[in-house]
Amino acid sequence: MKAIFTLIIGLLFSSSLVLAQDAGSAVEYMNKMGTEFKAIQTATWDYTKAAANNRNAGKINKRRLELIQQIDASIKNVNRLPAFNKKTYLKDSVLSFLKIQKIVIEEDYGKIMDLEDIAESSYDAMEAYIKAKQIASDKMESSSQLVSDTYDAFAKENNVTIKEGEKDKITQQLAIADEVYGHYNEVYLIFFKPYKQELYVLDAMNKGDLAALEQNKVTLSKVSAESQAKLKAIKPFRGNDNSIRGAATELVNFYKEEADVKFAKLIDFYAKKDAFDKGKKAFEANKSKTNDDINAYNKLIDEFNKASNDFNTTNAELNKRRTALINEWNNACQNFTAKYL
């Protein structure tokens, strides 16, 4: 079970920009800035692919460090540029943008990688992980918007008209990745809560802790109902792709059925087992057994055997369905990302 996250730097301009009304050196000056943005964008896509498709933390971090190195190189290159017509506001804005990007990738994403290690330990940890990613992305987007506005102001001041041409491949890939993983992560977080809660139920079951089993079963029913409502409110991706929402809904419906119907038989087994263990101990300690005592004990054995058979049958059924639904979910996610990226 894996949450998919990517790094999307909000570069609001790319090498595909077409500069008209040639203003000579102003265009050249702007193009030098664009070259640095393009280099960072390429490194960003490399990191995005690694973060989305690789479970090897070392390889992912290697791409992150490579991105930091590219940002450092771009900072040096922009620093070398002179003022344009004795004005440095575009250069200063770009440098500010690059430094913010470096801080986010170096510090925020360093902390995010630490959070990733514990993200699946609980719903709260997963929520904190996703929130940290969103905060980092928001910082990037804000700094990107500021430098983009400055870029436009510089063009206007120097009589350069910017016409956005057809986006290049990497620009398109980053935009699509942002859209695809945004939808995925929204569905994933809703699904993850009952998924994690079911594990608490199964853990209590394995320990034979009847009180914890009952308590966690009630919670599972509640969070499953909440997730059902949230999933229903999510619109299909691009208006017609319901694949991962549908797969998540099937799993959440399964968790709700477990909590409300199936787990009752499993809890009954533990109650019958407890009664049987106590009855057996009392029966074996009774030195003057009557026929009534023997009949009562035999009845206790029959009830325990029936509960045991029901437990085994129900548990096997649930394990089979759970495995099938998890596989369907994983396949749906894999097919979803493969379809658009």
DSSP per residue, 120-175: GG-HHHHHHHHHHHHHHHHHHHHHHHHHHHHHHHHHHHTT-EEEE----HHHHHHH
Average pLDDT over residues 45-69: 79
pLDDT band at 21 (very low <50, low <70, confident <90, very high): very low
Residue 293 parent element (H or E): helix 291-340
**And the tokens for 167?**
């986006």
Nearest in space to 330 (alpha carbons), one of 200, 209, 184, 204? 184
Strands 161-164 and 17-20: antiparallel
What's the pLDDT score for residue 15?
40
To the nearest whole number, what is the mean pLDDT of the chain?
86
For residue 293, what are the contacts with CB-CB under 8 A and spacing of at least 6? 283, 286
Q: How far apart are CA 98 and CA 143, in angstroms?
A: 9
pLDDT band at 219 (very low <50, low <70, confident <90, very high): very high
Q: How far apart are CA 50 and CA 225, in angstroms?
A: 35
Give the residues across from 36 on adjacent strands.
Answer: none
Share of residues in the chain with pLDDT > 90 (%): 46
What's the pLDDT score for residue 55?
61
Q: How many CB atoms lie within 10 A of CB 195?
A: 23
What's the pLDDT score for residue 12?
42
**Residue predicted with more confidence, 59 or 297:** 297
What's the pLDDT score for residue 217?
95
**Residue predicted with more confidence, 307 or 137:** 307
Average pLDDT over residues 275-300: 91
Domain boundaries, the chain: 17-167, 191-340
What's the pLDDT score for residue 64?
85
Nearest in space to 105 (alpha carbons), one of 58, 66, 78, 55? 66
Q: How many CB atoms lie within 10 A of CB 80?
A: 9
Least confident residue range of 14-23, 70-79, 235-244:
14-23
Nearest in space to 245 (alpha carbons), one of 253, 255, 234? 234
Average pLDDT over residues 80-97: 93
Is the pLDDT at 236 greater than 90? The verdict is yes
pLDDT in tens, 23-51: 458 888 988 888 888 888 888 888 877 77
Is the pLDDT at 8 greater than 80? The verdict is no
Least confident residue range of 53-67, 82-96, 136-150, 257-271:
53-67
Of 23-27, 135-139, 212-216, 337-341, the range with the highest mean pLDDT is 212-216
Q: How far apart are CA 315 and CA 302, in angstroms?
A: 20
| Helical pair 123-157 and 169-207, crossing angle rounded to 10 deg | 170
121, 2 Cβ separation under 8 angstroms: no
Place of tokens 């035999």: 298
Place of tokens 């109650």: 271
Nearest in space to 66 (alpha carbons), one of 81, 52, 51? 51
Q: How many CB atoms lie within 10 A of CB 245?
A: 23
41, 171 Cβ separation under 8 angstroms: yes
In the chain, what's the furthest Cα-to-Cα distance? Answer: 111
Is the pLDDT at 122 greater than 50? The verdict is yes
Phi and psi of 55, rounded to 5°? -95, -5
Average pLDDT over residues 258-284: 90
Q: How far apart are CA 165 and CA 17, in angstroms?
A: 5
Residue 185 parent element (H or E): helix 169-207
161, 188, 192, 256 from 196: Cα distances, Å: 54, 12, 6, 13
217, 246 Cβ separation under 8 angstroms: no
What's the pLDDT score for residue 176?
84
pLDDT in tens, 134-178: 888 888 878 888 888 898 899 889 988 877 654 567 777 777 888
**Residue predicted with more confidence, 240 or 120:** 240
N- to C-terminal Cα separation, the chain: 20
